[in-house]
Structure 1
Amino acid sequence: MSKKTYAFIAAFMVQVFYGVTFTFASDVIKGGYVKPFGFILLRVAGAGLLFWLFSFLGPKEKIERKDFFTIFLGAVFGIAINMLCFFKGFEYTTPIHASVIMVVVPIIVLILSTIFLKEKVIPTKIIGIILGLSGAVVLSLYGKPTENSANIPLGNLLVFINAVSYSIYIIITKKLTSKYHPFTFIKWLFLFGAILVFPFGFPQLETVDWGTFTPYVFFEAGFVIVGATFTTYLLNLFALRELKASTVTTFLYLQPVIAGIFAMIVGSDSLDLIKIVAAILIFAGVYLVTLNKVKKSA
């Protein structure tokens, strides 16, 4: 298979891991095993350690001094703001809500590409942006608190901020992947990220009672660290190395489907008409936004 084919597989697997992670992370946080910021530090430090341990698999490249600032910005948007908002938002919202909101990322990436890369926006794309963001607003404002989801609008807002931050991260890392092998800079990305989230996470992590963890909870936490962080960040960077950023983000369309199906299978979420309508608005929006890109190139 060609490198592009492997890149498509990598982009698909990233969404599979993320889709399942919505439920796993929700179980660990809402179950009271680890508070959100403590879980983030555990996640970033654990994955960062793995990246440093396995960095020998990549080529020996030296990062230019000026690029360290770009890597630091990537850590700010792709790790610190991204994860802090996502996990904090998870305290208040539900897996399906969070996953569907993340589908606006392709729209945000298009907006950023238009601003920074001077990409032309046609009327079809403008309509798509309006539809997609309308769906996100509907989903964000809808929802009654449940026993484990106390403030759905606030949770959805934090997840939306996470989506914006992740989109900026995609733009930043795209430039780096064209210059370096992923292993060359991702270890530094996570080192900076661990330093940034340490003040938020350490107070919560030191209060964790590890004795309350069941084998399944250990598995869920381990999956988030190894599968949804170490593996996904690496696969995503590989996909960005071979494909356009707009193509990689289109795979996010699969995330609500995977997350929703898995959440309903394990009984942690349900589907209703409002969520379906909001999802349709978002899907219609992102389809119109990326229509020309899909036709012209992979």
Structure 2
Amino acid sequence: MNTRTLALIAVSIATLIYGVTFTIAKDVMPLHIKPYGLILLRVSGATIVFWLASLFVKAEKIEKSDYKKILLAAFFGVGFNMLTFFKGLSLTTPISASVMMVTSPILVFIFSSILLKEKLVKRKIIGVIIGLIGTIILIVYGNDTDGSASNRTLGNFLVFVNAASYGLYLILVKKIIAKYHPIVFIKWLYLFGLLIVTPFGLPELTEVNWLTMPTSIYLKVGFIIIFTTCITYLFNLYGLTKLKPTTVGVFIYLQPVIATIFALIVGSDSLNLVKISATIIIFFGVYLVTKRVDKFAK
């Protein structure tokens, strides 16, 4: 089996993990562990894993000026990103949340045009507008009688804010990630992220009744820490070393598909016309934004 095939398998597994996480995390919160408490568990667990992993990597000294950049990246890529995502997911449904995440490429384009002064193309601008229309439809009208979502409108909006935060994070780390070994970078990223989420997560974590919590919930929390955080990062990292970033990026579009199938199988969510329509509109907008520009086109 060649390295490209292995890389595609690794990225596929990472995408599968992300897809089922929407439902698994929804099973954990807010009934057993509140959102911010779950985030603290996830970030602290990942911090320990990555710092242990760094023991097997050649030590690199971080430039003093880069600590501020890593701290800013930690705010948007770990702290604010996870706080809005898990809080939003606790209020909405797995399918709606997974669809909102697909808006990330649109938001990356917006931030790239603002911060990196990337060239604006009419087709991409139209794609942004169409994608945002689909997003607004899902946020405002994506409500149904499903009792698993206590405040779907707010939840969808928070997941959208999370996608925006992560999109900004991708822009911020574009240059700095090339300077250091990925494990060295990520261990500091998560350490700073841990400092950010602790004040929010600690009060909720102290409320958890560990003695009465079912074994299945312990296993799901472990899955989120080890697989959703650590394994997916390592698998995507391997994929990026063997595949083009655009190839890896395409896999984000499979997340809603996997999330929908898994959620429907276990009965944690349902489909309706608004969700289907909004999804089609968002995907079309993303297609226009991410489609390669013909270099010979005027």
Task: Report if TM-score (shorter chain) is over 0.5.
Answer: yes
**Counterpart residue number, 2:250:** 250
CA distance in 2, matches of 1:181, 1:294: 34
User: One-letter code of the match for 1:288?
Assistant: L
Give 1:182's aligned residue. 182
Residue number in structure 2 paired with 1:193: 193
CA-to-partner distance for each residue in 1:55-100, whole Å, 9 max, x for gaps?
1232322211111111111110011101111111122100000000
Please give the alpha-carbon distance, in whole angstroms, between the structure 2 residues aligned to 1:172 and 1:6: 29
Instruction: Specify the alignment match of 2:134 in structure 1.
Output: 135
Shift of 1:235: 3.7
* Deviation by residue 1:97-124 (Cα, 9 ceiling, x = unmatched): 0000000000111111122222222221
What does residue 111 of structure 1 align with? 110
CA distance in 1, matches of 2:134, 2:112: 22
Q: How many angstroms apart in 2 are the aligned matches of 1:202 and 1:145?
A: 33
Question: Partners of 1:236 and 1:174 in 2: how far apart?
Answer: 16
Provide the aligned C-alpha RMSD in A.
2.3
For residue 72 of structure 1, what is the aligned residue in structure 2?
71
TM-score (norm 1): 0.91
Q: How far has the Cα of 1:37 moved from its partner? A: 0.6
What's 1:47 paired with? 46
Specify whether residues 10 and 78 from structure 1 end up closer, same or farther in structure 2 by C-alpha distance, changes over 3 A only. farther
* Alignment pair present for 1:232 and 2:232: yes
Pairing 1:162–2:162 present: yes
**In the alignment, residue 89 of structure 1 is paired with which amino acid?**
G
Which range moved further: 205-214 or 171-180? 171-180
SS at match of 2:91: coil
Alignment of 1:24 onto 2:24 = yes
1:14-44 CA-partner distances (Å, limit 9, x unpaired): 32211110001000004x1111111110110
> Residues 138 and 49 (structure 1 numbering): CA distance in 2 closer, same or farther, change over 3 Å?
same
Q: Does the 8 A contact of 1:182 with 1:234 survive in 2?
A: no
Give the residue type in structure 2 aligned to 1:253. Y
Gaps of 5+ in 2: none
2:266 corresponds to: 266
Residue 8 of structure 1 deviates from its aligned partner by 4.8
Distance 1:294 1:12 in 2: 28
Map Cα deviations across residues 143-189 of structure 1 (whole Å, 9 max, x no partner): 13643311111111111110000111112223232111111111111
Count matched residues: 295
State the partner residue of 2:292.
292
Indicate if the aligned counterparts of 1:177 and 1:241 stay in contact, CA closer than 8 A. no
Q: Give 2:205's aligned residue.
A: 205
Retained in 1: the 8 A contact 2:98–2:259? yes
CA distance in 1, matches of 2:173, 2:5: 21
Classify 1:173/1:10 alpha carbon distance in 2 versus 1 (closer, same or farther; 3 Å).
farther
Distance in 2, matches of 1:8 and 1:89, equals 30
Contact preservation (8 Å) 1:40, 1:83:
yes
Find the counterpart in structure 1 of residue 275 from structure 2: 275
Q: Structure 1: any 5+ residue segments left out of the alignment?
A: none
Aligned to 1:147: 147
* Cα 1:180–1:170 shift into 2, 3 Å: same
Return the letter of the residue paired with 1:183. Answer: I
Question: Aligned partners of 2:179 and 2:3: how far apart in 1?
Answer: 17
How far apart are residue 2 of structure 1 and its match? 7.4
Moved more, 285-294 or 20-29: 285-294
Structure 2 equivalent of residue 94 of structure 1: 93
Q: 2:148·2:268 contact (CA, 8 Å) conserved in 1?
A: no
Most deviating of 74-83 and 239-248:
239-248
Query: Does the aligned pair in 2 maintain the 1:174–1:240 contact within 8 Å?
Result: no
1:6 shift after superposition: 5.6
For the 8 Å contact 1:86–1:158, the answer to whether it is kept is yes
Aligned 8 A contact 2:146 2:269 in 1: no
Q: Distance in 2 between matches of 1:174 and 1:60?
A: 21
Normalised by the length of structure 2, the TM-score is: 0.91
CA contact (8 A) 2:94 2:269 kept: yes
Alpha carbons of 1:70 and 1:11: their partners in 2 closer, same or farther (altered >3 Å)? farther
